Amino acid sequence: MPATSTITGNLAMPGFTAPKLIWVAKHEPEVFVRVATVLLPKDYLRLRLTGDKVSDMSDAAGTLWLDVERRDWSEAMLEGCRLSRAHMPRLVEGSDASGRLLPEIAASWGIHQPVTMAGGAGDNAASAVGIGAVAPGDGFVSLGTSGVLFVVNDRFSPNPARAVHAFCHALPRRWHQMSVMLSAASCLRWVTRLVGGPNEAAVLAEVATLDEQERARAPIFLPYLSGERTPHNDPAALGVFFGLTHGTDRRALVYSAIEGVSFGLADGLDALASAGTRTGTLSLVGGGSRSGLWAQLLADILQTPLRVHAGGEAGAALGAARLGHLACGGSERVVCTRPPVASEHAPARDGPGRFQDRLERFRALYRALSPVWKAAGSATS
């Protein structure tokens, strides 16, 4: 059998569906033998609403059972997990119709005409459709619970050596690359609770009072509260504050958290660049995009212009609605436009000089601590 990454273009990371089902087969064999169909959460909801077992290409790419280049289930990957096509839903493009709402459900909701359900998408592919990232080279940064750098490709472009995700887009004949970090805006939420802040907006307002010297003295934060994917593929990685002193206050801790997430995204951008991917202006989406302070910090560290769109924090929901419009006959050219720009953030010219030393320490800390985490995990497993 060819290597997993040769077929799927992706490393077998713990968060994918296939490794989870292998765990079930090993630890709960009595459950595994009863598996009739494997459905992702939205696809189970679709089954209840339409009676059809269907998934879309973008979400299916994250199972590790999809031949991503061919946009079809991989017989070899399924057999490796003791499954077959009979266990898998039918595949459609995200913008295609996947079924119709069951008449009895429609009637109970007071709907008296047929309702078409689109194939849909994974969360990041839906966000891309929502902010109009549909052409090769388009991309965005997402500051949600996790952090994502997403770039559209016109061909399958895997880079598993750097833990880059290579998935199908939600639209036909397009793919995308993603660098994914597991904790992004969730780090801000965590540190806000840690320091007793009333809410994220309030503590970020305090951070805005820090001068450059105070920022330079802030601890270095490794944002691996849930392990990490790109570029490390390291589930053992842990969060760290390095450089605490008696003078460290809560402003410094919150600043360190958003800077550390931004450094993690810089690692992701570097992983994409190592495969030849180049980015221009990127859209910024997710809950973290509400903060102008964080948006500017991220633009300075990535040295990439960022554009925040009106409603960008809800881009995935808009993308899902747009896929529904396309499934009902809408034109991609008309439907998948870019929402109005709310703000733009150009990188500061002195950004590389200001952040290079701290970014190098950030990376050195990971290299130094990675063997410690792995040894600790081996001792407790």
**What DSSP letter does each residue of 142-173 carry, written as one string?**
EESSSEEEEEEESS----GGGT-EEEE-SSTT
200-228 pLDDT, tens digit per residue, is: 999 999 999 999 999 999 999 999 999 99
Per-residue model confidence (pLDDT) at position 14: 85
Per-residue model confidence (pLDDT) at position 1: 46
- CATH 3.30.420.40 corresponds to the domain 121-381: yes
116-152 pLDDT, tens digit per residue, is: 999 999 999 999 999 999 999 999 999 999 999 999 9
Q: Is the C-alpha dihedral spanning 149, 282, 263, 291 positive or negative? A: negative
pLDDT mean over 315-320: 91
The alpha-helical segments, DSSP class H, found in 195-249 are 200-207, 212-217
Q: In CATH, what is the architecture of 1-87? A: 2-Layer Sandwich (3.30)
Give φ, ψ of 91 to 5 degrees. -105, 140
pLDDT at 274 over 70: yes
pLDDT mean over 231-254: 96
Cβ neighbours of residue 170 closer than 8 Å, sequence gap 6 or more: 56, 57, 58, 93, 94, 95, 119, 120, 121, 122, 125, 126, 128, 129, 319, 323
pLDDT at 267 over 90: yes
89-113 pLDDT, tens digit per residue, is: 999 999 999 999 999 999 999 999 9
**C-beta neighbour count of 263 within 10 angstroms:** 26
325-376 pLDDT, tens digit per residue, is: 999 999 999 999 999 999 999 999 887 889 999 999 999 999 999 999 988 8
- Which residues are catalytic, by number? 123
The residue ranges of every structural domain in the chain are: 1-87, 121-381
Check residue 124 and give left, alpha or beta (phi > 0: left; psi -120 to 50: alpha): alpha
What is the overall mean pLDDT for the chain?
Answer: 94
CA distances from 129 to 97, 115, 155, 233, 290 (A): 16, 21, 18, 27, 20
Decide the pairing of beta strands 90-92 and 54-56. Answer: parallel
Residue 251 parent element (H or E)? helix 250-273
Q: What is the spatial distance between Cα 124 and Cα 148, in angstroms, rounded to a whole number?
A: 8
Hey, do 1-87 and 121-381 end up sharing a CATH topology, with the first three levels equal? yes
